[in-house]
Structure 1
Amino acid sequence: MSRRTTTPSNSNLYRFHRPKLPVRDTPHPLKPESELYLRNLSTHRTKRPAPPYPRAHSAAVLVALFVGRAGDIYVLLSQRAKTLRSYAGDTALPGGRIDDDDKTIEDTARREAFEEIGLPQDKSKLPMLCILDPFLAGNEVLVTPVVVLILDNTLKPVLNAPEVDTLFSHPLASFLSTTFPERAAPRGPFPEAEAHAETAAVELRYHAHHDLPWPWSRPSHPTNGAHSTTTTTTRRAVRMHRFLTGREAGGIKPIYGLTAAILIQTATIACGRPPEFPVEARGQPGLNERVAWSLRHPGKRLEEAMRREGFDAKRAALIWDKWEAGKWRAGRFQQRLPFRL
Structure 2
Amino acid sequence: MSPKSTTRDSSNSELYRFHRPKLRVHETPHPLKRESELCLQNLSTYRTRRPIPPFPRTNTAAVLVALFVGRAGDLYVLLSQRAKTLTSYAGDTALPGGRVDDEDRTIEDTARREAFEEIGLPQDKARLPLLCILDPFLAGNQVLVTPVVVLILDNTLQPVLNAPEVDTLFSHPLASFLSTSFPERAAPRGPFPEAEALAETAALELEYHTYADVAWPWPWVMGPATPESAGRAVRMHRFLTGREAGGIKPIFGLTAAILIWTAAVAYGHPPEFLVQAHGEPELGERVAWSLRHPRQKLEEAVRKEDFDAERAARIWDKWEGGRWKAAGRFRQRMPSRL
**TM-score using structure 1 length:** 0.89
User: Residue type of the partner of 2:42?
Assistant: N
1:131-146 pair list within 5 angstroms: 131-146=133-148
1:323 is the counterpart of 2:319: yes
| Residue of structure 2 aligned with 1:238, choices 234, 241, 244 | 234
- What per-residue deviation string (whole Å, max 9, x for no partner) do you get for residues 169-204 of structure 1? 000000000000001134220022111110000110
Aligned to 1:270: 266
- CA–CA distance in structure 2, aligned partners of residues 315 and 97 of structure 1: 23
RMSD over aligned CA atoms reads 1.8
Indicate how the Cα distance of structure 1 residues 73 and 325 shifts in structure 2: closer, same or farther if over 3 A, else same.
Answer: closer
Aligned length: 312
Indicate how the Cα distance of structure 1 residues 339 and 122 shifts in structure 2: closer, same or farther if over 3 A, else same.
Answer: farther
- What per-residue deviation string (whole Å, max 9, x for no partner) do you get for residues 8-36 of structure 1? 43131011111112221011000110101
| Residue of structure 1 aligned with 2:130, choices 128, 131, 147 | 128
Q: SS of the residue aligned with 2:211? A: strand
Asked if 1 retains the 8 angstrom alpha-carbon contact of 2:18 and 2:108, the reply is yes
Indicate how the Cα distance of structure 1 residues 55 and 101 shifts in structure 2: closer, same or farther if over 3 A, else same.
Answer: same
User: Residue type of the partner of 2:261?
Assistant: Q
Asked if 2 retains the 8 angstrom alpha-carbon contact of 1:49 and 1:133, the reply is no
Aligned to 2:326: none
Indicate how the Cα distance of structure 1 residues 65 and 339 shifts in structure 2: closer, same or farther if over 3 A, else same.
Answer: farther
> Could you list the runs of 5+ residues in structure 1 that have no partner in the other structure?
1-6, 219-231, 327-337
Q: SS of the residue aligned with 2:16? A: coil
| Residue of structure 2 aligned with 1:248, choices 244, 257, 263 | 244
Q: SS of the residue aligned with 1:259? A: helix
**TM-score using structure 2 length:** 0.89
Asked if 2 retains the 8 angstrom alpha-carbon contact of 1:167 and 1:193, the reply is yes
Aligned to 1:201: 203
Structure 1 position 325, deviation (Å): 7.6
- What per-residue deviation string (whole Å, max 9, x for no partner) do you get for residues 98-143 of structure 1? 0000000000000000000000000000000000000000000000
Q: SS of the residue aligned with 1:270? A: helix
1:153 is the counterpart of 2:149: no
Aligned to 2:225: none
- CA–CA distance in structure 2, aligned partners of residues 188 and 281 of structure 1: 36
Aligned to 2:328: none
Asked if 2 retains the 8 angstrom alpha-carbon contact of 1:30 and 1:67, the reply is yes
Identity of aligned residues (%): 80
| Residue of structure 2 aligned with 1:107, choices 98, 106, 109 | 109
Asked if 2 retains the 8 angstrom alpha-carbon contact of 1:216 and 1:233, the reply is no
Structure 1 position 339, deviation (Å): 12
Aligned to 1:63: 65
- CA–CA distance in structure 1, aligned partners of residues 155 and 337 of structure 2: 21
Aligned to 2:277: 281
Indicate how the Cα distance of structure 1 residues 307 and 178 shifts in structure 2: closer, same or farther if over 3 A, else same.
Answer: same
1:77 is the counterpart of 2:73: no
